[in-house]
């Protein structure tokens, strides 16, 4: 009898777990806020037209949100006297950008449909639309995420892979979130857009040997051995276009970050890089599928979390 009760509880739990995932759908706002997606897309296109780099920043914002306790917009929460958010974590401080674009979008969507569209969904949609705006693939997003009322500075510091990561670290950090090694390489390929700060690649261009000499010299002009920490370099030479040049650069030993070149350094991921370097269609398909998977990391649904009115703060705070 006891075992039957336990079995029944397990079935109920499994059903509820399935329901939580089932509450995400591609047409979640079709009735409740039909203009939500077009409003987000127009705002993203406007932001990227003003500054092409913003597309990469919005994509990275989504990644740094989802890798820390799931895609719940916890990264957007400001610190207060009684609350510590994730903005000051090592991987985020002076690095993650685009908060003001999300705030602008939220304001526009709130005027259309107050209290309906979550900040977490706005971040996810903005990332997708940014990739499209820069010439990359599109993908169908599952929507209906809700916003967290918590954040984790410690998880942001521990779970996000950094620019000095070796291949084994990259594989394990992504594996911990359910990604295959191939998906990790595809997601790393989003470094085809955006820029990096000198502090993120100084050690590579001055100390490493698996780097094209002329490439290293050119980057040393941007990034001195001391000082200039915030000087910026393009992650690849077509940094405002989402393409597969990033992978061709790796084959030529022109990966800007240590973590980039680790993908093509005589290890298990070399063959994946070679495939993507010659077949942009395969890369586009794989990165789109990996982005869908990332967007589905531990979403809050149903009555969990809330729909924030202001993405920077918990309702009522």
Based on the residue annotation, tell me whether 64 is a catalytic residue of this protein.
yes
Give me the residues paired with residue 306 across strands: 147
- Average pLDDT score over residue span 170-178: 97
Helices and strands counted in the chain (H then E): 14, 2
The torsion angles phi and psi of 59, rounded to 5 degrees, stand at: -65, -45
Give mean pLDDT, residues 162-181. 97
Residue matched to tokens 């050119």: 218
Residues ≥6 apart with Cβ < 8 Å to 292? 139, 140, 141, 142
Given CATH 3.40.50.300, say whether it is the number of domain 167-295: no
Mean pLDDT (whole number) for 169-182? 98
- Of the candidates 192, 199, 196, 188, the one whose C-alpha atom is nearest the C-alpha of residue 265 is 188
Which string of b and e fits 110-141 if b means at least 16 CB within 10 Å? beeeeeebbbbbbbbbbbbbbbbbbebbebeb
Domain covering 35-160, topology: Peroxidase; domain 1 (1.10.520)
Using the predicted structure, report yes or no on whether residue 16 has a pLDDT greater than 90: no
| Interval 22-62: pLDDT, tens | 489 999 999 999 999 999 999 999 999 999 999 999 999 99
Q: Binding site for substrate, residues?
A: 161
Q: Which residue has tokens 């393009």?
A: 234
CA distance 221 to 239: 18
Write down the pTM of the prediction: 0.92
Q: For 16-20, 241-245, 278-282, which range has the lowest pLDDT when averaged over its residues?
A: 16-20
Q: Which among 311, 314, 295 has a CA at the least distance from the CA of 107?
A: 311
Average pLDDT over residues 189-199: 97
pLDDT computed for residue 7 by the predictor: 47
Domain locations in the chain as residue ranges? 35-160, 167-295
User: Which residue in the list 21, 62, 64, 258 is annotated as catalytic?
Assistant: 64
Beta-strand pair 232-234/195-197: antiparallel
Digit-coded pLDDT (tens) for 94-105: 889 999 999 999
Decide if pLDDT at 13 tops 80: no
Q: What is the pLDDT of residues 256-304, one digit of tens each?
A: 999 999 999 999 999 999 999 999 999 999 999 999 999 999 999 999 9
Point out the annotated binding site for Ca(2+). 65, 68, 70, 72, 74, 86, 192, 236, 239, 243
Q: Which helix (H) or strand (E) segment is 232 a member of?
A: strand 232-234
The Cα 211–Cα 200 span in angstroms is 15
Binding residue ranges for heme b: 191
Residue 52 pLDDT: 96
């Amino acid at each position: 009898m006891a075992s039957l009760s336990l079995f029944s509880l397990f079935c109920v739990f499994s059903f509820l777990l399935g329901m939580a995932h089932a509450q995400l759908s591609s047409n979640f706002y079709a009735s409740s806020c039909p203009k939500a997606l077009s409003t987000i897309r127009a705002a993203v296109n406007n932001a990227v037209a003003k500054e092409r780099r913003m597309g990469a920043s919005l994509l990275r914002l989504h990644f740094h949100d989802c890798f820390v306790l799931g895609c719940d917009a916890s990264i957007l929460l400001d610190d207060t006297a009684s609350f510590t958010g994730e903005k000051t974590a090592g991987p985020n401080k002076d690095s993650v950008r685009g908060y003001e674009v999300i705030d602008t979008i939220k304001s526009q969507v709130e005027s259309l449909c107050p209290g309906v569209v979550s900040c977490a969904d706005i971040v996810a949609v903005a990332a997708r639309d940014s990739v499209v705006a820069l010439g990359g693939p599109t993908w169908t997003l599952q929507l209906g995420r809700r916003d967290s009322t918590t954040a984790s500075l410690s998880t942001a510091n521990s779970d996000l892979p950094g620019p000095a990561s070796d291949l084994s670290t990259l594989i394990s950090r992504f594996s911990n979130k359910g990604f295959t090694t191939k998906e990790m390489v595809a997601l790393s390929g989003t470094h085809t857009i955006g820029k990096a700060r000198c502090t993120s690649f100084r050690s590579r261009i001055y100390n490493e040997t698996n780097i094209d000499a002329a490439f290293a010299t050119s980057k040393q002009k941007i990034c001195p051995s001391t000082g200039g920490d915030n000087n910026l370099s393009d992650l690849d030479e077509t940094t405002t276009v989402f393409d597969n040049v990033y992978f061709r650069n790796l084959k030529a030993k022109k990966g800007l970050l240590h973590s980039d070149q680790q993908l093509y350094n005589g290890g298990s991921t070399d063959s994946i890089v070679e495939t993507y370097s010659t077949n942009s269609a395969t890369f586009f398909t794989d990165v789109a599928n990996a982005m869908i998977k990332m967007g589905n990391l531990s979403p809050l649904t149903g009555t969990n979390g809330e729909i924030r009115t202001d993405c920077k703060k918990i309702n009522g705070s």
